[in-house]
Amino acid sequence: MEFLKIDQTDSDRWDQVWQLYEESFPLAERRKEDDHLRACNDPRFYPLSVWEDGRLIGILFYWEWDSYRYLEYLAVSPDLKGQGYGSQILHYLRDSNHTIILEIDPLVNELSVRRLQFYEKSGFTLTPYRFMHLPYRKDSEPQELLILSYPKMITRKEYADFIQFVNESVIVYCE
């Protein structure tokens, strides 16, 4: 697999990546394209696309600062789900000395439970912390999310560092 920084000037690849992004996440959780492109200029943001033999496998968008990585988006092409690609992408992300933090929806249905199981199988720990994620769009509401971390459960201070980073650095790339 090849991990490439997303380049809007490569219109064929960009169109595939953006389509997967829009199909994989609810409107309230997605940036508008202009906001995303602004975020791409932030050196702490890593918007990666994953390719194999010229085919889009998935996307991995994360932020890196100090000793942390915040996994903001991970998606695998729908026709490739269940083939181990998501685990391979997570392995790439975990292959560092960073504490990795991500959030998931509350456990309200079978899909959300399967998502939690996927991350736990990959070594992530569900923390006792909750997070009110500010909306990425003006017409949306804040959403309570569950926090997972790797390689161990984050401390209260690490949680505070994460919240501060998201609220001061990530959210500025939203409308």
Q: Give the whole-angstrom CA distance, residue 4 versus residue 49.
A: 5
CA 20-159-66 angle, to 5 degrees, is 75
Which helix H or strand E contains 47, and what residues bound it? strand 45-52
Domains of the chain, start order: 2-173 (3.40.630.30)
Reported as a single tens digit per residue, the pLDDT across 110-166 is 999 999 999 999 999 999 998 888 778 888 888 899 999 999 999 999 999 999 999
Q: Which amino acid is at 24?
A: S
The confidence band for 23, taking pLDDT boundaries of 50, 70 and 90, is very high
pLDDT of res. 14: 95
- At 8-19, the pLDDT tens digits run 888 899 999 999
Buried-exposed string 28-62: b where 16+ CB fall within 10 A, e elsewhere: ebbbeeebbeebbeeebbbbbbbbeeeebbbbbbb
Q: What is the DSSP string of 100-147?
A: EEEEE--S-SHHHHHHHHHHHHTT-EEEEEEEEEPPSSTTS--EEEEE
Kindly indicate the confidence band of residue 6, based on its pLDDT and cuts at 50, 70 and 90.
confident
What pTM, to 2 d.p., does this model score?
0.94
Q: What's the pLDDT at 135? A: 77
> pLDDT tens for residues 68-110?
999 999 999 999 999 999 999 999 999 889 999 999 999 999 9
Q: Are 112 and 105 in contact (CB under 8 A)?
A: yes
CA gap 173, 104 in Å, rounded: 20
Distance of CA 107 to the CA centre of its chain: 18
The residues with which 131 forms a beta bridge, in sequence order, are 145
Residue whose tokens read 């390689």: 151
CB-based contact 45:174 (threshold 8 Å): no
